[in-house]
Chain A
Amino acid sequence: MSQLRGSDESVSGDAACLEEKEKTRSKMAQPSSAGRYDRQLRVWGERGQELVERARICLIGSSATGTETIKNLVLPGVGAVQVMDTQSPSCGLRSHGCYGATDASHTGATHSTADADTTQICAARDLGSNFFVTEDDVRHGRPRAVAVAHWLQELNDAVVCTAEHISLDELLEKLDADNERGKSGVEMWVAQFSVLVVAQMPFSERAPLRRLAAACWSARVPLVWCRSYGHYGMVRVIDREILTYSGGGGEGADARQPLDASVTGSASPELWPELHAFYDSFDFAALDSAATRLVPYPVILSKALHEWREKHNGGEDHHAFPNLRKHRTELQQILDGWRKSPQCDEENFDEAMRKLRLICDVRPGELQHGLAPLVADAEHMCGICGEEQEVCGGSGSGTGRDVSGLKNIHSQPPEAAMHRMRSRAHYWLFLRCVRAFVDQFGDVPVTAALPDMVSDTESYVALQRIFHARARLDVERMTALMRQQQIKDSARCSRMRLLPASARERLLVEPDAEQHVAYLCKSLRGFRATRTRAPDDTRYGRHPEDSELVAQSNNSGGGTGGEKDDGVEFAVCALLFAADAFHELQGRFPGQPPLRALPVDASDDQQVAFFSEQLVEEDCALFRGVAQSVAAQMALSPQGVALDGNLIKEFVRCGAAELHTVASVVGGVAAQEAVKLLTGQFQPLNNTFIFDGVRGASASFIA
């Protein structure tokens, strides 16, 4: 089955074509997809898969690095991918063979030929690095984006793979012209995608990528920028705010979550009478030792707290809180006193001891797990459009700032933009209502999942039922709060008023949105907002969590113990930027042969000239100067970036070679990041990953 698009009819107009294909795709949705996706459903769950399948990805740059990234997204079944190249083809499909007869209608299409650079036509050099270019493609001189889209399509029928024949320069020019005429702009164009992947493009000051990155930033489209350079690789994630929900959606993910304070009975009984009635049904005095050993630990903790309060102030204060060290000791004594046979193992009491923090450190209603700052942020957010209230309404200054591209997004949002707006809005709306929920009901919403614990079946199942019922009730309460808040917000959100009525409805939390709200409640402890550096931000720094993770891995991993030294990776990062600066000056990368491709029948002399070491010597001197001035601007570590002479030479000798192995490492990491961005699961990269193939090592940090 061929999904080629040979036409260059329009840039934003292709949405209709894609949507049509997506419709036919859903009709032939495969019954076996649960079997096909089984192994990944165990990683990101059904909901994660649904979000993956909804995604539309654009790749710009179809050499090995970008192609490998997209391959790793076609396999798990994203909705659609569109492949573009950075430069214009010197010729198109017209004079060349196509893959299938169905493409005959497109073969008449002509293509803009901005320059004669041949890199975009499949060449012998692609065969040595890109698995999705064939000898036949080279013989026929097919545009590389077309070949790549065709061979990627083979991997998964459920994905719509297309190729776009327009260079990025031309695209930007055309979109800017459109924008001036009040039509769509670059922002509108990027807004149709869920994630944009750009590969092997320089990021120097005048590079078109800068323009594209700025558009993604304002339209809130995540950008994943990847490159492979000799032994070295880089992935950078650029997005104003990445909202994630949980550490992962696979089976068993819930069981890792801790219980809330209310569950251990530290909240007052009137807030949860059913639970306290259950706890009261146990009487240690009446239980024999076998039965005592099977009492679930929340019961034990609840009773211990009750007894402690009795002892402490005669039970006067129902809210006395055992927050001191000596209180903890007192509680331990109470627990020990209840053990029937201190020498025999009563694992449930051991569990209760381990979980003492649930009643000692956690006050009911207190926001745990870094939630407090998020809930505070949520106060300023609009529950309709998910933007700050002062942007979308209130002050009235909001939309006036928007370029017309953004205005268009607000009045006719593409599907991906609509989905983005809705997810953001519900995320912040939910967090905003957490505050009201705690005020009203005494604690955060209960999670339906109960971790395993020592218990007889009957008690455990009974506890689980109480839990489920409460979780359901909390979801209903939360849904109602969210709907109330939206009614208030809808009066002042100017973006909502721009939207067509049908789109407005989609932003609202429906009365029967329980499944959706249940997911939010379940994920509460995993909420996290990651803000990456803006594309034009040139301050640099160290990943704050890196040292923490190193410490963890040293404790658990049996490693050498020393602090991980990322000095080489800092230098590699600086040199990649330096190589771009060099490219801007020289029109090629340091050590890169002036001739892009070696003729297939190259003579020995030609080969020697191509791989010339003289060029390396010459470029080294030049590059060292550029690198030093770039590195001086970067403060990746307190000591500055040490540029080793050998590393500089290694950079030059590789001549910006794109090794398949490095491209594949980068493509794997970039695809992982894309999946995180699409599913809102796991913790995204913030913001730069560097691979060093010389040592077989990597590092990530903020750059």
Chain B
Amino acid sequence: MGDAARFADVELLLRRAGPLAHAAFEAGPENGAFIASQCRVLVIGAGGLGCELLKDLALSGFARIDIVDMDVIDVSNLNRQFLFRAHDVGRSKAEVAAAFVRARVPRCNVTAHNADITQLPADFYRQFNLVVSGLDSIDARRWLNAFLFSLLERDATSGEIDPASIIPLVDGGTEGFLGQARVIIPGFLACFECTLDLFPPQRNFPLCTIANTPRLPEHCIEYAHVVLWPDVRHGERFDADDPAHVQWVFERALARATQYGIQNVTLRLTQGVVKNVIPAVASTNAVIAAVCAHECLKLASYLAPSMNNYMMYNGEAGVYSYTYQNQRRPDCAVCGVPVPRRLGISAGSTLNELLDLIAADAELRARSPSLRWISGHALYYSAPPALHVQTSANAERSLIDLFRAWHMQNGLAPDARDAANESENGPVVDAQRSPPVMKLSVADPHLPHVREVHVELL
């Protein structure tokens, strides 16, 4: 059926001059034609946001869409991922979503990629004019953001970014009745990493509470998950998506709760604790995905200037949203000039405690890091297994010990700043003496780049 008739609503805007349109907007039938036949959009994630995005883009006139997701459909998706039916459970999300939209909107060419986003080659990403993501994982969004930045090409002499290498990223996220949407122009606007502190790191229960003074059902569940599982089923990787594993944790947690007189350990709570389940409803996904898709339409047609550049949305108390400009961080680990991350920890702490600190740090969030001295010598490897075995003994050693041992090994006299060593008879007054600093480089699959970290031993 004729596109002009079908898309009369969008075309009314695309074919008439508008005073609020972007300066580069030129009204005419070419806009709709570009969106339909040339503009290629990549949708990352075929979940709650992804299903909505596909629908929104297809009904905004986009007809060359690719979608990537490596997940399969679960029954708990059906309350919002409206392209899936009960009989689709177990099938690829990307494939089912693409097939549904192709059938409903035959002019729209949707290609599915049942794949891990990190495994697709750079040339795959380079095909697209726009990337829009609906991912629930912060790690995946960090990776995508850093990757699109790495695709930028600069002029060899002037250092200026080649505009053709820029792929704008429109990103959305939701939790319950809350959400956010943003536009990232790599190299120009604040990127995901610049504003990582918008997402507080996951709260963990202190291990001593879990082990010694459990009070809440969550404490019992974490005990079964963090302490009992590695103890009893050593070597076996815990998989939060395996119902048998979750059931095992649930039963152990229930036993512990009974022993302590703690109530309300349920299977649902167990799933929530071990899997970090994010509450999700259809309506919020609809809002956020549509805001993102509207930004795609604007980016592809200049129908209006892009959102500048971040919108937070809160539907819990009335409807409140706030759109403002996030600033770039000059020291952003992705798009700026990173400076070493400074951490402080008591000198007597073990390396394990330092690893916890690095995992919980709002900027690093490296949960399985490998640490090297800045000189290149190994300190601790989380992978591969051979290196892990070699360095795992360090995990229980105190940081000050490791610090001294490294100095000895390298034939250096214990550092003049080694406060712990010289506090009794050192000539320098304590207050003026700076604490010893471990200069480390941290590599982690969750980090976009190797980061230099300076750990002050207090």
Tell me, yes or no, whether A77 is within 8 Å of chain B by CB.
yes
Q: With an 8 A cutoff between CB atoms, is B247 at the interface?
A: no
A57 at the interface (CB under 8 A from B): no
State whether A129 touches B323 (Cβ < 8 A): no
Complex CA distance for A41 and B290, rounded to whole angstroms: 24
Closest residue of chain A to B80, judged by CB?
Answer: A75
Chain A 522-581 interface residues, beta-carbon cutoff 8 Å to B: 543, 545-546, 549-550, 553, 557-560, 564
Task: Compute how far the CA of A191 lies from the CA of B105 in the bound complex, rounded to whole angstroms.
Answer: 38
Task: From A260-268, A281-289, A486-494, A690-698, give the one contacting chain B.
Answer: A690-698
Alpha-carbon gap, A693 to B4, bound state (A): 22
Taking a contact as CB atoms under 8 Å apart, the answer to whether A672 and B260 are in contact is no
Are B317 and A655 closer than 8 Å at their CB atoms?
no
User: What residues of chain A lie closer than 8 Å to B319, measured between beta carbons?
Assistant: 235, 669, 672-673, 685, 689, 698, 700
B312 contact set on A, CB distance < 8 A:
553, 557
Whether A667 contacts B279 in the complex (CB less than 8 A), given A128-B6, A662-B294, A672-B319, comes out as no
Instruction: Determine whether B423 belongs to the interface, using a CB cutoff of 8 Å to chain A.
Output: no
Q: Does B406 contact A (CB under 8 A)?
A: no
Contact B287 A251 (CB under 8 A): no
User: With a CB–CB cut-off of 8 A, which chain A residues contact B322?
Assistant: 550, 553, 557, 559, 564, 697
Question: Which chain B residues lie closer than 8 Å to A611 at the CB level?
Answer: 11-12, 15-16
Tell me whether A473 is interfacial, beta carbon within 8 Å: no
CB of A633 closer than 8 Å to a CB of B: no
For B188-209 the 0/1 string (1 means CB < 8 A from A) is 0000000101100000000000
User: Separation in Å of the A38 CB from the closest CB of chain B?
Assistant: 4
- Given A672-B315, A695-B307, A698-B319, the answer on whether A36 and B79 have CB atoms closer than 8 Å is yes
Closest residue of chain A to B22 (Cβ to Cβ) is A694
Does the CB pair A154–B318 fall under 8 Å? no
Contact B5 A125 (CB under 8 A): yes
Enumerate B364-388 residues with CB–CB distance to A below 8 Å. none
A659 is an interface residue with CB less than 8 A from chain B: yes
Within 8 A of A (CB), among B261-301: 261-263, 268-269, 271-272, 277-291, 293-295, 297-298
The interface stretch among B51-59, B224-232, B353-361 is: B51-59
Contact of A40 among B79, B268, B288 (CB under 8 A): B79
- Interchain CA distance A658-B10 in the complex, whole Å: 8
Distance of A76 Cα from B79 Cα, bound (Å): 5
- A contact residues around B282 at 8 Å (CB): 40, 71-72, 75-76, 668, 671
B166 at the A/B interface (Cβ < 8 Å)?
Answer: no
**A35 at interface, CB cutoff 8 A:** yes
A457 touches B287 (CB 8 A): no
A647 at the interface (CB under 8 A from B): yes
Contact A685 B318 (CB under 8 A): yes
A515 at the interface (CB under 8 A from B): no
> Scoring A residues 462 to 496 as 1 if CB is less than 8 Å from chain B, else 0, what string do you get?
00110000000000000000000000000000000
Q: A39-B76, A697-B311 are in contact. Are A599 and B5 (CB under 8 A)?
A: yes
Cβ-based interface call for A155 (8 A): yes
Chain A residues positioned under 8 Å from B285 (CB to CB): 668
| CB-based nearest B residue for A157 | B86
Q: CA separation between A150 and B12, bound complex, in Å? A: 29
**What does the 1/0 interface line of A186-217 toward B look like (CB < 8 Å)?**
00000000000000000000000000000000
Residues of chain A within 8 A of B280, CB atoms compared:
39-40, 43
Min C-beta distance of A348 to chain B, whole Å = 11
**B18/A675 in contact, CB under 8 A:** no
- Verify A696–B286 contact, CB threshold 8 A: no
Across the interface, which residues of B come within 8 angstroms of A696, CB to CB?
A: 181, 183, 291, 294-295, 306-308, 311, 323
- Once bound together, how far apart are the Cα atoms of A653 and B1, in whole Å? 25
Residues of A within 8 A of B13 (CB): 230-231, 653-654, 657, 659
B53-105, CB < 8 A from A: 55-56, 58-61, 75-76, 78-80, 82, 85-86, 104-105
Q: Smallest distance from the beta carbon of A12 to chain B beta carbons, Å?
A: 30
CB-based contact B106/A135 at 8 Å: yes
State which of B148-156, B211-219, B342-350 sits at the interface with chain A: B211-219
B411 at the interface (CB under 8 A from A): no
Pick from A127, A550, A657: contact of B1, CB below 8 A: A127
- Chain A residue nearest to B181 (CB atoms) is A696
Give every chain B residue within 8 A of A461 (Cβ-Cβ): 215, 260-262
Tell me the minimal C-beta distance from A413 to chain B in angstroms.
Answer: 29
Question: How many Å from the CB of B168 to the closest CB on chain A?
Answer: 14
Distance to closest chain B CB from A377 (angstroms): 21
Question: In the complex, what residue of chain A is closest to B303 when comparing beta carbons?
Answer: A231
Inter-subunit contact B75/A124 (CB<8 Å)? no
B304 contacts partner chain A, Cβ-Cβ < 8 Å = yes
- Report the count of interface residues on A (CB-CB < 8 A): 110
A602-B295 Cα distance, complex, nearest whole Å:
30
Which residues of A (663-703) have their CB < 8 Å from a CB of B? Answer: 663-665, 667-669, 671-673, 675, 682-686, 689, 693-700
Pick the contact of A675: B78, B181, B281 (CB < 8 A).
B281
Give Cα A700–Cα B316 distance, bound, in whole angstroms. Answer: 13
Closest approach, in angstroms, between the C-beta of B7 and any C-beta of chain A? Answer: 4
CB of B16 within 8 A of CB of A665, answer no
Q: Mark A136-178, 1 if CB is under 8 A from B, else 0.
A: 0010000000000000001110000000000000000000000
Q: Is the CB of B4 within 8 A of A40?
A: no
Query: Residue A272 at the B interface, CB < 8 A?
Result: no
- Which of B18, B183, B278 has the most C-beta atoms of chain A within 10 angstroms of its own C-beta? B18
Please determine whether B318 and A684 come into contact, CB atoms closer than 8 angstroms.
yes
Counting CB contacts under 8 A, is A11 at the interface? Answer: no
List which A635-661 residues lie within 8 A (CB) of chain B. Answer: 645-647, 649-650, 653-655, 657-661
With an 8 A cutoff between CB atoms, is A455 at the interface? Answer: yes
**A125-B6, A668-B284 given; A36·B316 CB < 8 A:** no
A154 to B103, CA, bound (A): 15
Report A97-123 CB contacts with B as 1/0, cut-off 8 Å: 000000000000000000000000000
Which residues of B sit under 8 angstroms from A683, Cβ to Cβ? 316-318
Given that A549-B317, A675-B283 are contacting pairs, would A650 and B19 also be in contact in the complex, using a CB cutoff of 8 Å?
yes
Residues of B within 8 A of A649 (CB): 18-19
Report B401 CB to chain A, min CB distance, Å: 24
Contact indicator per residue, chain A 600-612, by CB within 8 Å of chain B (1) or not (0)? 1110000100110
Q: Which of A604-633 contact B (CB under 8 A)?
A: 607, 610-611, 613, 616
- Bound together, the chains give a CA A613 to CA B12 distance in angstroms of 10
* Interchain CB contact under 8 A, B8 and A456: no
Question: With A125-B8, A457-B213, A653-B18 given, is the CB distance from A131 to B76 under 8 Å?
Answer: no
- Determine the chain A residues whose CB is within 8 A of the CB of B238 once the complex forms: none
Cross-chain contact A452 with B215 (CB below 8 angstroms) = yes
- A7 on the B face (CB < 8 A): no
A32 an interface residue at 8 Å Cβ cutoff? yes
15 A/B residue pairs, CB under 8 Å, sorted by A: A32-B75, A34-B268, A38-B268, A39-B80, A251-B268, A557-B198, A557-B312, A653-B16, A659-B297, A661-B294, A664-B289, A668-B287, A672-B177, A675-B283, A696-B308
Given contacts A39-B277, A71-B82, A131-B55, 20 further A-B contacts (CB under 8 A): A40-B282, A41-B268, A68-B286, A75-B80, A127-B105, A128-B10, A231-B20, A251-B272, A457-B262, A546-B320, A597-B5, A600-B1, A650-B19, A659-B294, A664-B55, A667-B283, A672-B281, A672-B283, A685-B319, A698-B319
Residues of A within 8 A of B (CB): 32, 34-43, 64, 68, 71-72, 75-77, 124-125, 127-131, 134-135, 138, 154-156, 230-231, 235, 247-248, 250-251, 294, 452-453, 455-457, 460-461, 464-465, 543, 545-546, 549-550, 553, 557-560, 564, 591, 593, 597-602, 607, 610-611, 613, 616, 645-647, 649-650, 653-655, 657-665, 667-669, 671-673, 675, 682-686, 689, 693-700
Q: Which 5 A-B pairs have the closest CB atoms?
A: A696-B307, A668-B286, A668-B287, A664-B290, A660-B59
B residues within 8 Å of A by Cβ? Answer: 1-2, 4-13, 15-20, 27, 29, 52, 55-56, 58-61, 75-76, 78-80, 82, 85-86, 104-106, 176-177, 181, 183, 195, 197-198, 213-216, 260-263, 268-269, 271-272, 277-291, 293-295, 297-298, 304-308, 311-313, 315-326
